[in-house]
């Protein structure tokens, strides 16, 4: 494995959700590299049917934070219920996550930058649009860019986390940011320097639970 | 900018679609690292509602290739029509892309590995499910993993390209690979060593066309 590979894998394996962000500004050159990383991502037909609104205006950030607070409040009821059925270290871990998420719920508006990811479905070939199950394919031309931006944040030691809860307030966000009728939002990503340790160890299923050999459910031996 | 950052950016900025793949096998340790990269990706609620079927069986690959050939044939009619309105270097570039895509259309079944990405919408909080515009948020819990896998391919010098055209044949693919009723497919990624130069320069819009300052359409000066 070359050095190049291991540096890339280092970023991926330590990209964790960072939810406690200091209000300190992100230098322009750092922000530029994060946005450039997103711009490099592949999209269907190389159409790049996404845009990102970089929100640094204090009043607009506050308005978005005010929309997020009650959405997180509502959503977190379920997360707290799940907690009741947990014990020991998994429960303690979940409690720490919820405390950090509650902090974000209160303070999203004071992150130095909110990245609001937009997409235009008219510029996408959504091959699963007419199926009876939920469509996801449109996401294939925007979330790859989002992941590039997250990995760049990691590499730049900038904390980040993606939330899709603000889709519930899409009309208000569109009005606030002047997003045209045929563009929509698919995520808001507060980014900034971390209050605590920031990025670090992550907890994920092993490959053996996620990848199968030739048949769904068939163990793969690598 | 640290060395870590520049290696990561090197991978991102040279991740191009590689459509002419040699049939030579991918060593197990390389494949393991590509799958591990996917496993590291964040997902909503850390649920990891995706799986990947690693298809190496010759008969199954051929069957998938036989499904892909006519789908590419149909889809490429539109791409060829666009060509008629193009001239000079953009046209020549598009013609080269189409020639490579035609090659993939004929030969997908002989790539050494086909990664078939699956997802389970029951395990996703799809916040835009009930909106009047196309839903994309489900993709936010699987395409980040797909992008990690693509970046790992790049770092390992393994060619790759994502196609979503086989969603049109989802029922056949599900039967072929034994995918359970409540799991669906959102992309097929042939991977393998390149016939030609493989990954390399990419052509993307500049950041100034993709990122806006506080208001959609407002230029950002970084």
Question: Up-side HSE of residue B1: CA atoms within 13 Å toward CB?
Answer: 16
CA dist., res. B204 & res. B93, Å (int): 13
Q: Following DSSP, what letter does each residue of A150-208 receive, concatenated?
A: HHHHHHTT-EE--B-GGGGGHHHHHHHHT--TT-EEEEEEEEE-BSSS-S-------HH
**pLDDT at B5 (0 to 100):** 58
Is pLDDT larger for residue A197 or for residue A150?
A: A150
CA dist., res. A212 & res. B26, Å (int): 16
Q: Per-residue confidence at A5, pLDDT binned at 50, 70, 90?
A: low
Residue B189: its H or E element: strand B184-192
Q: In terms of DSSP H, where are the helices of chain A?
A: 3-13, 28-39, 58-84, 88-107, 143-155, 170-177, 207-210
Structure tokens at A81: 């219920």
**Chain B environment of A124 (Cβ under 8 Å):** 134
pLDDT mean over A100-116: 98
Q: Centre a 10 Å sphere on the Cβ of residue A55 and count the other Cβ atoms it contains.
A: 27
Identify the architecture of domain A9-210 in CATH. 3-Layer(aba) Sandwich (3.40)
pLDDT in tens, B132-179: 999 999 999 999 999 999 999 999 999 999 999 999 999 999 999 999
CA dist., res. A28 & res. B193, Å (int): 38
**pLDDT at B4 (0 to 100):** 53
Q: Is the pLDDT of residue A6 over 90?
A: no
Residue B71: its H or E element: helix B58-84
**pLDDT at B7 (0 to 100):** 87
DSSP class of residue A53 equals E
**pLDDT at A1 (0 to 100):** 44
- Across the beta sheet with B184-192, the strand order is A211-213, B50-55, B113-119, B184-192, B159-160
**Chain B environment of A27 (Cβ under 8 Å):** none
Per-chain mean pLDDT for chain B: 96
Q: How far is B142 from chain A (nearest CA, A)?
A: 9
Helix/strand/coil for B5: helix
CA dist., res. A154 & res. A200, Å (int): 9
Handedness of CA B53, B59, B63, B66 (dihedral sign): positive
Handedness of CA A184, B187, B52, B202 (dihedral sign): negative
Cα radius of gyration (chain B)? 19
**pLDDT at B159 (0 to 100):** 98
Q: Is the pLDDT of residue B3 over 90?
A: no
Of A54, A152, A212, the CB nearest to B212: A54
CA B39 remoteness from chain centre:
16
Q: Judge whether B111 and B189 are in contact, CB under 8 Å.
A: no
> Which one of A1, A8, A40 would you mutate to disrupt binding with B, by most B Cβ within 10 Å of its Cβ?
A8
Total-model pTM? 0.97
pLDDT mean over A110-130: 97
Q: Is the pLDDT of residue B194 over 90?
A: yes
pLDDT in tens, B155-165: 999 999 999 99
**pLDDT at B1 (0 to 100):** 44
* Size of the A and B interface in Cβ pairs below 8 Å: 317
**pLDDT at A4 (0 to 100):** 53
Which one, of B42, B17, B40, lies nearest residue B140 by Cα? Answer: B42
Query: Class of the B3-198 domain?
Result: alpha beta
**Chain A environment of B139 (Cβ under 8 Å):** 136-140, 142-143
The label of the residue with tokens 């320097």 reads: A193
Residue B13: its H or E element: helix B3-13
């Amino acid at each position: 494995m070359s050095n190049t590979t291991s540096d890339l894998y280092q970023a991926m394996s330590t990209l964790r959700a960072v939810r406690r962000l200091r209000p300190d500004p992100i230098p322009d050159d750092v922000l530029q590299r994060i946005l450039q990383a997103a711009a490099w991502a592949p999209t269907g037909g190389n159409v790049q049917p996404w845009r990102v609104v970089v929100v640094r205006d204090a009043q607009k950030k506050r308005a978005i934070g005010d929309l997020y607070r009650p959405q997180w409040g509502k959503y977190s009821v379920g997360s707290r219920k799940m907690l009741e059925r947990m014990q020991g270290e998994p429960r303690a871990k979940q409690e720490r996550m919820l405390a950090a998420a509650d902090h974000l719920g209160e303070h999203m508006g004071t992150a130095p930058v909110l990245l609001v990811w937009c997409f235009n479905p008219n510029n996408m070939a959504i091959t699963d649009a007419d199926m009876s199950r939920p469509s996801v394919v449109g996401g294939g031309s925007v979330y790859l860019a989002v992941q590039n931006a997250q990995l760049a944040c990691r590499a730049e030691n900038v904390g980040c986390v993606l939330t899709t809860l603000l889709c519930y307030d899409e009309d208000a966000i569109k009005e606030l940011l002047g997003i045209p009728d045929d563009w929509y939002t698919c995520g808001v990503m507060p980014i900034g320097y971390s209050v605590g340790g920031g990025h670090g160890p992550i907890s994920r299923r092993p490959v053996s639970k996620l990848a199968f050999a030739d048949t769904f459910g068939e163990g793969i031996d690598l």
